[in-house]
């Protein structure tokens, strides 16, 4: 297991951690100045930016892009909407390639409006990812299926456990061609009674392509926007990182904290210095 | 699969559904008057009541007690607190016997204050239930392990999936002596990619001793107190009841809805008539 002590070059900041309060080029400068080795931007930030200039800036600062966030939701009420989502995701995969992102984050989506067909939505997700794999291969971009916490199953993701995400990888990419993997976020997966056994299984070997940290707070007040800073919650972060790295993961440790009422209210540089300290002390 | 049409005798009301707004004896009368065949009361309601009088009232009205809610949390920071919890649960099992309850609900508890030892808490739960099984056998009361949604893993229950609860049953009661089972609540388990396969597995056969319905709302606003009325959310209730009944479950279908800002604001008789209608239309 790698030591993170004095190794901020092994650590990355998801821009959501800073609350999307300033333009992307400023966030990039700030993260680089704080000494981090990577960053993970969002598509809505890129919409207001010059993509080529951002790509040049990232390379000039030697910042890795640990992930490009995130997919348009895949399950849809009809074929037209489904294909529109696929088209949008294909365009985003091209942008991920321009950013030389380690992966394109697949937050796959919940149930289509009005639907209760959970099984059908999960089948649509498999079908949609299969269609995106071709684009991913052309663009030399990895797709990272991110299992989201079960509390998001209706609205944001019908993929809810590590084992389920890995089974999708096996189904869609049995020959392990190198363009499909899983993003493991401790916030989403920490509670799972099967998570340790799954991480040490052969199925997980080589499949983890992104690793996100934050913490789960006791008495979480908001289902979406109350994630904790590492060390403030109940997750055994170091233990999980050890198991993730045993799968062969050699990427950066990415901090992703949605925290509307706490961390998003603090000065960005304070948040970054706290991230740096806590990554080394707790992860 | 049983039909619930004109069979309110197969349906039960957990008193939490009415928001705990009046004394238990009044709630019992109200639920019986509405035609339901069962009720599930809470310990804090019994504290203010004459237990023998309540037991007599229930029998006079021919109301089944589909569950007695609920256990003192088991994981504890030290042995003294652990044993105190066990003592409290033993006393409650005696009360469940006096009420002739179908089962005593085990909501097992989250991580002890200050602890991040999820594995240790899960081991304490197994140890605690093993200690309670003796009392359960003496009192002829079934213990119902209720897996709670993963969003409660830190604070309320470290048992979070049906498969995990069934594995605990196998571990603690391999000979199936008849005093240990699982409470299956659709709110907690609907999202689980393994739930259907688990329900049809031999492991589940004969182990489901309670079945709770409500619904999962899109954009749930509160992690604890925003459950939906059956039919207002995304859960395929009839499909899950079918699978639960295939395990051999022959008990009543119990409605348990925590809904501070919606159903708890409505007149109790309106809530009961809506429950009756929705049970027949959606469950």
pLDDT, tens digit, 9 for 90 and up, residues A161-183:
999 999 999 999 999 999 999 99
The helix (H) or strand (E) run that includes residue A180 is strand A180-185
The minimum CA-CA distance between B162 and chain A, rounded to whole Å, is: 11
A155/B151 Cβ within 8 A: no
Closest residue to A161, CB basis, from B149, B193, B219: B193
Per CB distance under 8 Å, which residues of B are interface residues toward A?
A: 110-111, 115-118, 122, 149-151, 153-155, 160-161, 163-164, 190-193, 216-220, 223, 233-236
Give the residue-averaged pLDDT of B249-260. 98
- Dihedral (CA of B12, B17, B18, B22) sign: positive
CB A104 within 8 A of CB A71: yes
CB atoms under 10 Å from CB of B33, counted, come to: 11
The minimum CA-CA distance between A220 and chain B, rounded to whole Å, is: 8
Give the residue-averaged pLDDT of A210-232. 97
Give one DSSP letter per residue of A39-101, joined into a string: EE-BHHHHTTS-HHHHHHHHHHTT-EE--BB-PPP---SSHHHHHHHHHHHHHHHHHHHHTTB
Maximum distance among all alpha carbons in chain A? Answer: 51
Nearest to A187 by CA among A221, A156, A163, A211: A211
Q: How many degrees, rounded to 5, is the angle at CA B149 between CA A242 and CA B170?
A: 80
Nearest to B124 by CA among B91, B79, B92, B180: B79
B151/A220 Cβ within 8 A: yes
For residue B193, give the chain A residue with the closest CA.
A164
pLDDT over threshold 90, residue A28 = yes
Alpha helices in B99-194, H assignment, sequence order: 118-139, 162-172, 186-189
Whether pTM exceeds 0.90: yes
Contacts of B217 in chain A (CB under 8 A): 154
A218/B154 Cβ within 8 A: yes
Contacts of B235 in chain A (CB under 8 A): 116
pLDDT at A200: 98
Contacts of A192 in chain B (CB under 8 A): 150, 160
Find how far residue B158's CA is from the centre of its chain.
16
CB A165 within 8 A of CB A211: no
Alpha carbons B17 and B96: distance in angstroms, whole number: 20
Closest residue to A149, CB basis, from B150, B161, B219: B150
Average pLDDT over chain A, rounded to whole?
98
pLDDT at B82: 98
Q: How does B91-111 read in b/e, with b if 16+ C-beta sit within 10 Å?
A: ebbebbbbbebbbbbbbbbbb
A150/B150 Cβ within 8 A: yes
CB atoms under 10 Å from CB of A260, counted, come to: 14
Between A and B, how many residue pairs show a Cβ–Cβ distance under 8 A? 83
The minimum CA-CA distance between B32 and chain A, rounded to whole Å, is: 33
Q: How many degrees, rounded to 5, is the angle at CA B257 between CA B255 and CA B263?
A: 120
Give the residue-averaged pLDDT of A268-278. 98
Nearest to B251 by CA among B193, B218, B214, B212: B212
Task: Report the residue of B193, B216, B282 to disrupt the A interface, i.e. the one with the largest count of A CBs within 10 Å.
Answer: B193
Helix, strand or coil, per DSSP, at residue A246? helix
User: What contacts A61, CB < 8 A, 6 or more positions away?
Assistant: A28, A29, A32
Residue labelled with tokens 């960005």: A268
Alpha carbons A152 and A121: distance in angstroms, whole number: 14
pLDDT over threshold 90, residue A48 = no
A191/B234 Cβ within 8 A: no
Contacts of A166 in chain B (CB under 8 A): none
Contacts of B216 in chain A (CB under 8 A): 153-154
The minimum CA-CA distance between B59 and chain A, rounded to whole Å, is: 39
pLDDT over threshold 90, residue B247 = yes
Give the residue-averaged pLDDT of A200-222. 97
Contacts of A219 in chain B (CB under 8 A): 154-155
Assess whether the previous peptide bond of A217 is cis (omega < 30° from 0): no
Find how far residue B56's CA is from the centre of its chain.
23
Nearest to B129 by CA among B104, B98, B95: B104
Alpha carbons B144 and B129: distance in angstroms, whole number: 10
Task: Report the residue of A191, A220, A225 to disrupt the B interface, i.e. the one with the largest count of B CBs within 10 Å.
Answer: A191
Torsion of CA B215, B220, B223, B225, to 10 degrees: -60
CB B241 within 8 A of CB B211: yes
Task: Report the residue of A121, A150, A164 to disrupt the B interface, i.e. the one with the largest count of B CBs within 10 Å.
Answer: A150
Local confidence band at B48 (pLDDT 50, 70, 90 cut-offs): confident
| Helices and strands: H and E segment counts in chain A | 10, 8
Residue labelled with tokens 């309850």: B101
Task: Report the residue of B148, B171, B191 to disrupt the A interface, i.e. the one with the largest count of A CBs within 10 Å.
Answer: B191
Tokens at B259, concatenated: 């809904």
Local confidence band at B2 (pLDDT 50, 70, 90 cut-offs): very high
A160/B192 Cβ within 8 A: yes
B115/A153 Cβ within 8 A: no
Alpha helices in A145-211, H assignment, sequence order: 162-172, 186-189, 195-199
User: What contacts A40, CB < 8 A, 6 or more positions away?
Assistant: A12, A13, A14, A15, A65, A66, A67, A68, A69, A105, A254, A256
Closest residue to A160, CB basis, from B118, B193, B217: B193
Alpha carbons A69 and B158: distance in angstroms, whole number: 31
B101 DSSP assignment: B
Alpha carbons B120 and A173: distance in angstroms, whole number: 37
B218/A151 Cβ within 8 A: no
Alpha carbons A74 and A227: distance in angstroms, whole number: 25
Per CB distance under 8 Å, which residues of A are interface residues toward B?
A: 110-111, 115-118, 122, 149-151, 153-155, 160-161, 163-164, 190-193, 216-220, 223, 233-236
pLDDT at B281: 98
pLDDT tens readout for residues B100-132: 999 999 999 999 999 999 999 999 999 999 999
Q: How many degrees, rounded to 5, is the angle at CA A263 between CA A262 and CA A268?
A: 145
**Angle in degrees, 0-180, between the axes of helices B79-98 and B51-60, rounded to the nearest 10:** 40
The minimum CA-CA distance between A56 and chain B, rounded to whole Å, is: 39
Q: How many degrees, rounded to 5, is the angle at CA A6 between CA A40 and CA A34?
A: 45
Contacts of A149 in chain B (CB under 8 A): 150-151
Alpha carbons B118 and B98: distance in angstroms, whole number: 35
Contacts of B236 in chain A (CB under 8 A): 116-118
């Amino acid at each position: 297991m790698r030591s993170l002590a004095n190794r901020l070059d092994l650590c990355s900041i998801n821009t959501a951690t800073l609350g999307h309060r300033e333009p992307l080029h400023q966030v990039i400068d700030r993260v680089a100045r704080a000494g981090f080795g990577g960053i993970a931007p969002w598509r809505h930030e890129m919409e207001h930016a010059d993509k080529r200039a951002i790509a040049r800036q990232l390379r000039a600062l030697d910042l890795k892009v640990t992930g490009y966030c995130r997919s348009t939701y895949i399950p849809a009420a009809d074929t037209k909407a489904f294909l529109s989502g696929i088209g949008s995701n294909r365009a985003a995969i091209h942008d991920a390639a321009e950013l030389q992102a380690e992966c394109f984050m697949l937050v796959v989506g919940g149930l289509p409006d009005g639907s209760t067909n959970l099984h059908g939505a999960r089948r649509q997700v498999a079908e949609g990812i299969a269609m995106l794999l071709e684009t991913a291969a052309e663009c030399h971009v990895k797709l990272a299926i991110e299992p989201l916490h079960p509390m998001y199953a209706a609205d944001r993701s019908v993929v809810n456990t590590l084992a389920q995400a890995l089974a999708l990888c096996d189904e869609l990419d049995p020959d392990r061609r190198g363009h499909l993997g899983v993003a493991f976020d401790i916030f989403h997966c920490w509670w799972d009674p099967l998570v340790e056994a799954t991480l040490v299984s052969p199925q997980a070997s080589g499949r983890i392509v992104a690793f996100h940290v934050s913490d789960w707070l006791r008495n979480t007040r908001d289902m979406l926007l109350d994630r904790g800073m590492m060390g403030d919650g109940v997750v055994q972060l170091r233990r999980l990182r050890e198991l993730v790295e045993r799968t062969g993961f050699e990427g950066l440790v990415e901090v992703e904290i949605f925290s509307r009422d706490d961390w998003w209210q603090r000065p960005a540089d304070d948040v970054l210095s706290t991230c740096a300290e806590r990554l080394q002390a707790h992860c």
